[in-house]
Structure 1
């Protein structure tokens, strides 16, 4: 089914644009995804310990202070990054569970979705998925290689449980290499595989690497050589191991003379749990406060993205999809709506305007906030609206809300003061936008006109 979809997708969007056809080489692309990393967990975002590789990566390129992910838990956020579409639209609004739960249990990314790997394939990219997949690895049709990746290496899930054949197992492509692997061996093996892939690629063929870390998701188990490295505790040591991994990838690019022809993107899938830091933000993973959705976002492309940029332009993780389409010279799919926007001009410093009129903060099936510019309206909700993970939120957040709560994020990043009474017309505008997007994307008990059902099925 996925192969047929890929062929159709190629016919729809695979033509290489004239502007790029004459380009000698397309950039290599590496997307590095951290897991459950707080907004304040890197040195360049205010951490009280250094993260030298990522801090230097930011200094060498573009650092976003307003990067918004499309979901506050792992699986939906990843689905949005890989498809450029809201989880309600791509059929993956729930946290991927390896157990039978309220989320629907065993389900995955629909084979009908077009991923970054499939988007780039017509432009000749060889693609490699490394690390945590968490989008239905053991569900037929939802494996990374069914999603267009040429090869895969990693532990596909969270490091917990033993319900699946691939639980706590290292897998290459579709073969289990080792069961009950020690957690501390994961990151070093990911580093080795990525460096090897970079070294072995033909110089005349572009590559795409999607490197999804287990760090900083529990268990907090840094490798032996990183214990007590920061003198700020085990979690900081864990982040130091993540930073070192990024450093190894960047070093491999330098040693293979690929710095000037490789875009490297670093971001987190969502905010921190109880251990990490949201910095000045309220809330955490599992919530629609900024602490759940605003993450570190760093872009580096030597010679193309000017160094030293720190930008407060509002971006979305879904923007990576149309950005990479532009860089590879392929057209976006014409048969579906892409929610991301091309941010190339923002990264190069040629634009300071966000491409997003509105952003929508869903928590599972429940639309909980609408944002327009600096204004964010938290919407009324009750306990019956909440996803099953809502109890796990940390810090101050609106578990239930009786009336709209309007925040000026420019002057109140902690989302503490309700400005609704001073801005009744704006509140009305945002409430109408919420009603409009519910019709399109859906809501608890309300099917949207462009809402994909969960696949294979979600209760």
Structure 2
């Protein structure tokens, strides 16, 4: 009998060790941060020492794309591993009347598109299959995939949630154009009103790590920085709010535009400081060596951001709208100090994280990405040689190094191997290439149209 107890004890200990061997996962996403809004990407002005160090400790991706030039479609793809046209979230869940100064009554807002739309409930998010491997999952920050209870994180696979579910808020009042927006789980809350959102989300993330450090965890930290504030106050509306302490890192601007730029950089530096605090917590708790950390922006930066050397900005399919900074650290698996120029995308993150956790992708779901770890390690050739975008009539495709785009009545073709800034339009001189890329785009459109339909925008 004693021998049996010994065996059972050894078995349980080995099971516990196996569970602990699974890497913790921290996925951090910023909001409207430009490609060059990080020091290590070449910016000599902005102060981001912790993101710079994260890149030095891992791999910096320079050729990394998101699926949308705006928040909602990009975030939907990140959590599903699928094109927006396949998962159904290819538009924003947003009320446009606020652009014309309309102040919604409680009832108007409760039945408005921004309030009632959400990603199709048949879509599977990252935390659901991670549960099979014993992970506990927490989401803190901007959600943007539906506000009704059935769409919120706790009903979509996450175990803990604190944040807001719409697209943008005042950093201190936690309101979107006067509408209180913060949620603690499924419950609206104003308890933390007045606390700067970056501090608030950092604190919630710290509490989550402290609480769950003894088992594998998946932490999704979605800062709203450096997105413009959605405020009724004309002096705040559209401004990137930032604490004075971090604004003081940069000289005061002589113009309103320079001041807006200063606030944008200050918000990024404040977010960088929060990330540094979380990375230090991992070290203090002995979790650093067994934690995957991924950082990226949800789309390109706005007019106050630095997207150089890329052309364009958020809401455009020029490179500045869809190529984003991405940094990945996984000690013992990815060598430190790497720079990777492979053509990769945010749709690779879902399969990569499941592979790291030892979980197979669901057989019944078509994924548009793949496990990229061996590519980052330089062991295998990159699988991606094409990617496609479509939003509000604008279209784009990248095939190998060729980038085709249709915007309004104009067509563009660029050779990204020679022209990352998209200055030399080759559409007239390379008709065969244009035909080839447009043919692939048409095939992609056809495959998306034939995919199993998803709401809320498709007619089925």
**So what's the TM-score if we normalise by structure 1?**
0.83
Matches of 1:36 and 1:111 in 2, distance apart?
A: 26
* Partner residue of 2:55 out of 53, 58, 74: 58
Could you say which residue in structure 2 is the equivalent of 1:433? Answer: 440
Kindly provide the CA deviation profile for residues 2-59 of structure 1, in whole angstroms up to 9, marking residues without a partner as x. Answer: xxxxxxxxxxxxxxxxxxx967621000000000001111101122222100000001
Could you say which residue in structure 2 is the equivalent of 1:8? Answer: none
* Partner residue of 1:88 out of 80, 85, 88: 85
1:251 and 2:283 equivalent? no
* Partner residue of 1:362 out of 363, 387, 390: 390
Alpha carbon RMSD of aligned pairs, Å?
2.6
Give, in angstroms, the shift of residue 426 of structure 1: 2.4
Could you say which residue in structure 2 is the equivalent of 1:117? Answer: 127
Matches of 1:439 and 1:339 in 2, distance apart?
A: 15
Change in Cα spacing, 1:46 to 1:168, as seen in structure 2 (3 Å) is farther
Rg (Cα) greater in structure: 2
Could you say which residue in structure 1 is the equivalent of 2:210? Answer: 199
Kindly provide the CA deviation profile for residues 332-358 of structure 1, in whole angstroms up to 9, marking residues without a partner as x. Answer: 12112101111011222323x332131
Kindly provide the CA deviation profile for residues 342-382 of structure 1, in whole angstroms up to 9, marking residues without a partner as x. Answer: 1011222323x332131002224x46111111111113xxx
Alignment of structure 1 residues 149-228 onto 2, 5 Å: 149-157=158-166, 158-159=168-169, 167-178=179-190, 181-182=193-194, 185-203=196-214, 205-219=215-229, 220-228=240-248
Residues 73 and 286, structure 1, Cα contact 8 Å, conserved in 2: yes
Matches of 1:453 and 1:325 in 2, distance apart?
A: 23
Matches of 2:20 and 2:216 in 1, distance apart?
A: 11
Change in Cα spacing, 1:74 to 1:378, as seen in structure 2 (3 Å) is same
Matches of 2:424 and 2:341 in 1, distance apart?
A: 21
Kindly provide the CA deviation profile for residues 407-457 of structure 1, in whole angstroms up to 9, marking residues without a partner as x. Answer: 00121111121223443332222111111111122xxxxxx1116343287
Could you say which residue in structure 1 is the equivalent of 2:26? Answer: 30
> Secondary structure in 1 aligned to 2:275?
helix
Could you say which residue in structure 1 is the equivalent of 2:137? Answer: 127
Structure 1 gap ranges (5+) = 1-20, 380-397, 442-447
> Secondary structure in 2 aligned to 1:378?
strand
Residues 33 and 267, structure 1, Cα contact 8 Å, conserved in 2: yes
Moved over 4 A (4+): 21-24, 98-105, 160-166, 456-459
Change in Cα spacing, 1:98 to 1:132, as seen in structure 2 (3 Å) is farther
Could you say which residue in structure 2 is the equivalent of 1:307? Answer: 336
> Secondary structure in 2 aligned to 1:418?
coil
Change in Cα spacing, 1:98 to 1:249, as seen in structure 2 (3 Å) is farther
* Partner residue of 1:269 out of 282, 287, 298: 298
> Secondary structure in 2 aligned to 1:191?
helix
**So what's the TM-score if we normalise by structure 2?**
0.83
Matches of 1:305 and 1:55 in 2, distance apart?
A: 16
> Secondary structure in 1 aligned to 2:350?
helix
Structure 2 gap ranges (5+) = 1-16, 100-111, 230-239, 253-261
* Partner residue of 1:40 out of 21, 36, 42: 36
1:147 and 2:156 equivalent? yes
> Secondary structure in 1 aligned to 2:21?
coil
Give, in angstroms, the shift of residue 458 of structure 1: 8.1
